[in-house]
Chain A
Amino acid sequence: MTPAAVLAATPMSTGEMWVFIPLGILALVGALGMVAARNAVHSALFLVLTMLCLGVFYIVQSGPFLGVAQIIVYTGAIMMLFLFVLMLVGRDASDSLIETLRGQRVAAILLGVGFAGLVCVGLGRALAGTTAKGLAEANSAHGGNVQGLASLLFTRYVFAFEVTSALLITAAVGAMLLAHIERRKGERPTQPEQMRARFAPGNYPAPKAGPGVYATSDSVATAGLLPDGTLAARSIPEILPPRELTSSETAPKGTDR
């Protein structure tokens, strides 16, 4: 049975259907785009798209609190923090897509599609005769959606709810452990030490001359000339050896015209 048939089998108001179909497609596009995008920032933005669509779904299915929490907390706060971190770390670091196992990607896609098909067909068959119960009863039992959630959290699942704090502590300790380097006294040079090192004999305290400043060309490979006419190796990047340039290299390139 196709998903469309499942949709047809369950009662769904016209409005709900018109919200679900475009947003469902958008959510899928976001999920696929998140996996396929090479740039980490694009991935994160695709994920934001999917999460926003999910938030709308929750609201449509009469779970307004969950939907708003999804949008404010996950999309608004967590994903934005995630983006900040990506921007700080450097957004041009993209994954290398070299396969270490031959054919792994093809096999993974085939298995993934197969599993998705299995789940869709299975759920389609399983839910064909089921009528949706909806949240109306659960929402009215305690005087509202939020109250209903609260009564579950603080009665039946109170222990699980409290135990999740252990998860948060573990996560915080783990982040400190794996990402924070504690520097003790003496590991980082102090400002007076840096100044002394700067003016110590053998070090050149002034800024370095740029390449080509005292030379006849504007190439970065042209070393500056010292007063005695020798090449100043310090004025060009370390990876370029100081050398005499050919006349064609030193000739003006005509870029000023």
Chain B
Amino acid sequence: MNDLKLPAIDYAALAPMLILFGVACLGVLVEAAVPRARRGLVQVPLGLLGLVAALVFVIAEAGTRKRTAGEAIAIDGPALFLQGAIIVLGVVALLLIAERSLEPGGPFVAQPARPVGSEADRSQAAGEGGATEAYPLVMFALAGMLLFVAANDLLTMFVALEVFSLPLYLLCALARRRRLLSQEAALKYFLLGAYASAFFLFGIALIYGYAGAITFSRIHQAVTAGTGSGVLLFAGLALLAIGLLFKAAAAPFHVWTPDVYQGAPTPITSLMAACTKTAAFGALLRVLYVGFPGATWDFRPIIGVIAILTMLVGAVLAVTQTDMKRLLAYSSIANAGYLLVGVLAMTPEGVSSTLFYLVAYGFTVIAAFAVVTLVRDADGEATHLSRWAGLGRRSPLFAGVFTFLLLAFAGIPLTSGFTSKFAVFGAAFGGGQVWLVVAGVVTSMLLAFPYLRVVVMMWLSEPGESTPSVSVPGAFTSAALVIGVLVTLLLGVLPGPLLDLTTRAGDFVR
């Protein structure tokens, strides 16, 4: 046994992931060593510093195109771009997570193990400092997402999927208010997520049976050669796609989304809506573009139907929602459909437009959830739509900001929503997928209705007795909100630089 050699590992290329895993482990040690009152003061700078350091390494490696660690990790254009995007979006989401001035103690419950409604629970709701274990969990989740978009074989991808999912399941259960809803959301997400993971694993087994390997390059060879049983290939690809589309919240695998988005603490919802979506679509891009481009003609009609179904379900059900967080959840489902349109172009423009859309949507959705955390009354966030009526009269600034964000979701020109939708539809048109473009345009018009309804309600209704006040945001939320709104505006007015970057980052290594 002397022929066993550790494969060459490019530590600089892996540094972003290693840094985040290290920061997460340090965070766990901080939980053990630092007194409770000061843990937040240590965790927030630690997390932010770690993310910035990881970003520095991603930028430094910008030109790298290679496979490393025994071909298990591919560091290429999309991987680096998505890693950078996840880190930047993670920083903004971490700002929301770290906010403590809106609610005494922050958005998390102090001791999640205390039974809901017990005397100890009532006393901790009053302002006991929230659980700081959330910070290392967020770091683990982000590190897992970085690995997920860079995994070059299905086994590494599966491990990464679990590494970023498990902390998210936990984080969903930590809400300070409406804890039963939060715990229910976490349990639903956990059970359905475990189910989806099982599908993914089964798919890996079938693909292994088909190709005799699980690295994407070998799968590509097998698909191109066309030997082996087609049933194994299609069944395996279908099961893999189910696992990935579940995380991306595409219909009919979307049913968890509204419940989980509503129950989870709002900063965590923003993290899931921005970063998880980015990671899931990054992995989907890699699977379809690197592993299975040879089967494009076979999977495109099926996933195309899923894309249309996703857009329709998101748009139609968004109309019927009465809760702001559920409305944004259905909007997130519809946006998964538009992203699938970009993915299915199966051209280099398809990759770059999808990357652009992910960044643009991520910033807008984090800013939107930041506004949701601000509209509150004595019981916490007032998310029911009727409570938002007349908000424009009471605090024109925040209603104006939210109106801008909703217009961006609706895809009005001069916002990032317009440029990103234009980019994915253009790519799909270039890829010959006119049917998807038509469905996308029609559902976009449909989806504008719920957004405009909220806008009309905020500005044209009289504020009532129950209209909640908009809290003055603390420094962290203000920063997140300003970044989100500015990027949304900037990408709408001046999308050139990011479009150039996504075009240059569109090359996968195989």
Contacts and interface: CB of A to CB of B under 8 A. Distances in A.
Interface residues of B, number: 50
Given A158-B6, A159-B14, A178 B112 contact: yes
Contacts of A142: 1, 3-4
A248 B97 CA distance: 69
Contact of B229 (A126, A143, A167, A174): A126
B162 interface: yes
Nearest to A144: B1
B137 A173 contact: yes
Contacts of B127: none
Contacts of B113: 177-181
A157 B69 CA distance: 8
B497 interface: no
Interface in B225-246: 229-232, 235
Given A122-B231, A159-B69, A170 B163 contact: yes
A159 B25 CA distance: 17
Contacts of A171: 166
B143 interface: yes
Chief secondary structure at chain A's binding surface: helix
Contacts of A147: 1
Given A155-B70, A171-B166, A181-B113, A126 B232 contact: yes
A167 B160 CA distance: 9
A50 to B, nearest CB: 15
A160 interface: yes
A163 interface: yes
Contacts of B372: none
Contacts of A18: none
Contacts of B6: 154-155, 158
Interface in A60-107: none
B14 A170 contact: no
Contact of B147 (A127, A158, A163, A174): A163
A166 B163 contact: yes
Nearest to B162: A167
Given A127-B209, A170-B170, A174-B169, 11 more contacts: A119-B235, A126-B231, A126-B235, A129-B229, A151-B4, A155-B4, A157-B72, A163-B159, A166-B163, A177-B131, A177-B174
Interface of A: 119, 122-123, 125-127, 129-130, 142-143, 147, 150-151, 154-160, 163-164, 166-167, 169-171, 173-174, 176-182, 187
Interface of B: 1, 3-7, 9, 14, 21, 24-25, 28, 31, 69-73, 111-114, 120, 131, 133, 136-137, 140, 143-144, 147, 155-156, 159-160, 162-163, 166-167, 169-170, 173-174, 206, 209, 229-232, 235
